[in-house]
A = this chain, B = another copy of it.
Amino acid sequence: MYSSLNTNGNAAAFETGPVSGRFAAVYSEVQNSRIDHALPLPSVLRNPFKVVEGPPSSAAGNPDEIAKLFPNVFGQPSAMLVPNEADSLRSDLKLKIGVVLSGGQAPGGHNVISGIFDYLQDRAKGSILYGFRGGPAGIMKCKYIELNADYIYPYRNQGGFDMICSGRDKIETPEQFKQAEETAVKLDLDGLVVIGGDDSNTNACLLAENFRGKNLKTRVIGCPKTIDGDLKCKEVPTSFGFDTACKIYAEMIGNVMIDARSTGKYYHFVRLMGRAASHITLECALQTHPNITIIGEEVAAKKQTLKNVTDYMVDVICKRAELGYNYGVILIPEGLIDFIPEVQQLIAELNEILAHDVVDEDGIWKKKLTNQSLKLFEFLPQAIQEQLMLERDPHGNVQVAKIETEKMLIQMVETELEKRKQEGYYKGHFKGQSHFFGYEGRCGLPTNFDASYCYALGYGAAALLHSGKTGLISSVGNLGAPVEEWTVGGTALTSLMDVERRHGKFKPVIKKAMVELEGAPFKKFASVREDWALKNCYISPGPIQFVGPSSNAVSHTLLLELGAQA
């Protein structure tokens, strides 16, 4: 069915037949070779197993409120798959399972789906797997495709979410829950796997609660997805996609470092994706050893101002100039601005003023700003001032996300260096080059780690559904060991939750896992960053390899966290 034709000596083509999807797609040699990459499974999944349970669980915070919000699924014990003499689950059960991708892309999503599919083929033959199209909206509108071996094949170990695509809709209102129920009933679903980030997994748990409350048989299992790495806990050591995305960014950063050292005249300001948490920036720093790395959580903890951040950069740049280095590499998290309290304050004031007042050209409107905000506003480069005033979202709010932080910082550093030059403290020369690495990393070919991790997550999720579990997140552990020795199970989603008060109501949330300043990865970074600042300790990780050296490497963040736990 799949023909592999060489075109131009570099690419091979295959067709997947009459189904839609990646039919007639032409694949590169590397893509093709990855399709047939044999995925190792943890040994517990390759042999007969049974599911054992731990003690009852609680919540990450406010367990009483969580218990009230989830009366049917709160307190569930963890489930762990352990070897058994014979399989404990009925292999003659024919399950109907749905799967949905939710939120932004992360490398490995296709492998979660492959894992679910293969589990059903291996252990519940005759089962059906539906892929809901375009994210949670696909559930609500009952837009789905029945996934079969031919359809799935070309997506194995491939990047992207395009097998069934994703979406950012949420199932929130009573009407939307009703729609989800209707789909579950219509398709006679035994289970649903929700592949997503913190919000989507909260949603998965609400669905589980709702289905059980309505006595529907449909069970729901979540899977931890996000390149940002901010969905994790003890039982879920990392979210999938983080490993691949960081390695792609680190490849680029390493290349830019060698360029900086070779040219000797540029400071490269690299903004990295990750709006809420700075895990990506930290991981890339640990992989590449840049001269300056800004971690949003530290900026927030130390209540730093934009001026503080600029001064820190300028101090390092001046010291490096004295050593003869007029070049360097600086990593900045996408969400930096969100971590700076004074910026939040300024933006709140601006939104208020812009909503109610006329902005006069003479700047009289500025008198409405508090002193601190006015000072900050005037400190900002003119282009950023204009951007804040002019670019507004449909609600009239300042679009913080549109600010190119790396360019703003280049301008602020330039201004400060000019000042120091005039004061005689700086004799170097400075040229900034800006970069933003984001979209390049979300759909790369998954690393061996992400490929195996996702496959195990999916295979495990199907096992949990097979054993009747609901409201759990698929949990694969012991990730520092060879795949063979990984543990597989599920963790109560409610145990990851706390409540937030919004509009006078309690809302359950899975708290984003932020960079812990007392955690091993940050402490490691903090212990060496001064060396990195002044010496040039650059490391160039090079392109991701699928065979040979480093092809099975695990992220520094994960290794350091596992090491600290051990």
Seen from chain A, the residues whose Cβ lies within 8 Å of a Cβ on chain B are 8-11, 25-34, 105, 158-162, 165-166, 248, 251-252, 254-256, 258-259, 261-264, 266, 268, 286-287, 289, 433, 435, 439-445, 537-550, 553-554, 556, 559-560
Q: Which residues of B contact A559 (CB under 8 A)?
A: 8-10
**Which residue on B lies nearest to A34, using beta carbons?**
B542
Question: Beyond A256-B439, A549-B29, is A262–B539 a contact (Cβ under 8 Å)?
Answer: no
Q: Which residues of B contact A262 (CB under 8 A)?
A: 105, 160-162, 165-166, 443
**Which residue on B lies nearest to A447, using beta carbons?**
B543
B540 x A543 contact (CB < 8 A): no
A-B contact pairs, 22 of them (CB 8 A): A8-B559, A8-B560, A9-B553, A9-B554, A9-B559, A10-B554, A25-B537, A29-B550, A31-B539, A31-B540, A105-B263, A162-B261, A165-B264, A166-B262, A248-B255, A255-B443, A268-B439, A433-B439, A543-B543, A543-B545, A545-B546, A547-B547
**Which residue on B lies nearest to A287, using beta carbons?**
B10
A549 x B439 contact (CB < 8 A): no
Q: Which residues of B contact A547 (CB under 8 A)?
A: 545, 547-548
Complex CA gap A251/B159 in Å reads 12
B443 x A259 contact (CB < 8 A): yes
A255 x B441 contact (CB < 8 A): yes
Q: Among the listed B251, B439, B445, which residue makes an inter-chain contact with A259, where contact means beta carbons less than 8 Å apart?
A: B439
Complex CA gap A428/B34 in Å reads 35
Closest chain B CB from A201 CB (angstroms): 20
Closest 9 A/B residue pairs (Cβ): A30-B542, A543-B543, A160-B258, A29-B550, A258-B443, A33-B549, A161-B262, A259-B443, A29-B549
Q: Among the listed B161, B166, B444, B560, which residue makes an inter-chain contact with A543, where contact means beta carbons less than 8 Å apart?
A: B444
B286 x A8 contact (CB < 8 A): yes
**Which residue on B lies nearest to A559, using beta carbons?**
B9
Complex CA gap A444/B256 in Å reads 8
Closest chain B CB from A522 CB (angstroms): 14
Most buried by B among A9, A287, A433: A9
Most buried by B among A11, A30, A33, A162: A30
Q: Which residues of B contact A34 (CB under 8 A)?
A: 542
Complex CA gap A553/B33 in Å reads 14
Most buried by B among A252, A258, A264: A258
**Which residue on B lies nearest to A544, using beta carbons?**
B543
Q: Which residues of B contact A553 (CB under 8 A)?
A: 9-10, 29
Closest chain B CB from A32 CB (angstroms): 7
Closest chain B CB from A388 CB (angstroms): 15
- Other contacts beyond A30-B545, A545-B547: 15, CB < 8 A: A9-B554, A10-B553, A26-B289, A28-B287, A30-B543, A31-B541, A105-B259, A105-B263, A162-B258, A165-B264, A259-B442, A433-B439, A543-B543, A543-B544, A545-B545
Question: Beyond A165-B262, A262-B165, is A255–B541 a contact (Cβ under 8 Å)?
Answer: no
**Which residue on B lies nearest to A256, using beta carbons?**
B439
**Which residue on B lies nearest to A33, using beta carbons?**
B549
Closest chain B CB from A437 CB (angstroms): 9
Q: Which residues of B contact A538 (CB under 8 A)?
A: 25
Most buried by B among A8, A262, A559: A262
Question: Beyond A11-B539, A261-B160, is A444–B255 a contact (Cβ under 8 Å)?
Answer: yes
Q: Which residues of B contact A30 (CB under 8 A)?
A: 541-543, 545, 549-550
Closest chain B CB from A191 CB (angstroms): 24
Q: Among the listed B29, B256, B548, which residue makes an inter-chain contact with A440, where contact means beta carbons less than 8 Å apart?
A: B256
B545 x A255 contact (CB < 8 A): no
**Which residue on B lies nearest to A535, using beta carbons?**
B24
**Which residue on B lies nearest to A550, using beta carbons?**
B29
Q: Which residues of B contact A166 (CB under 8 A)?
A: 262-263
B28 x A540 contact (CB < 8 A): yes
Complex CA gap A440/B543 in Å reads 12
Q: Which residues of B contact A159 (CB under 8 A)?
A: 255, 258, 540
Closest chain B CB from A10 CB (angstroms): 5
Q: Which residues of B contact A540 (CB under 8 A)?
A: 27-28, 31, 158-159, 445
Closest chain B CB from A481 CB (angstroms): 12
Most buried by B among A248, A256, A539, A556: A539
Q: Which residues of B contact A433 (CB under 8 A)?
A: 439
Closest chain B CB from A157 CB (angstroms): 10
B255 x A439 contact (CB < 8 A): yes
Q: Which residues of B contact A10 (CB under 8 A)?
A: 287, 541, 550, 553-554, 556, 559
**Which residue on B lies nearest to A433, using beta carbons?**
B439
Question: Beyond A28-B541, A541-B28, is A440–B255 a contact (Cβ under 8 Å)?
Answer: yes
Complex CA gap A321/B545 in Å reads 37
Complex CA gap A445/B547 in Å reads 17
Complex CA gap A268/B159 in Å reads 17
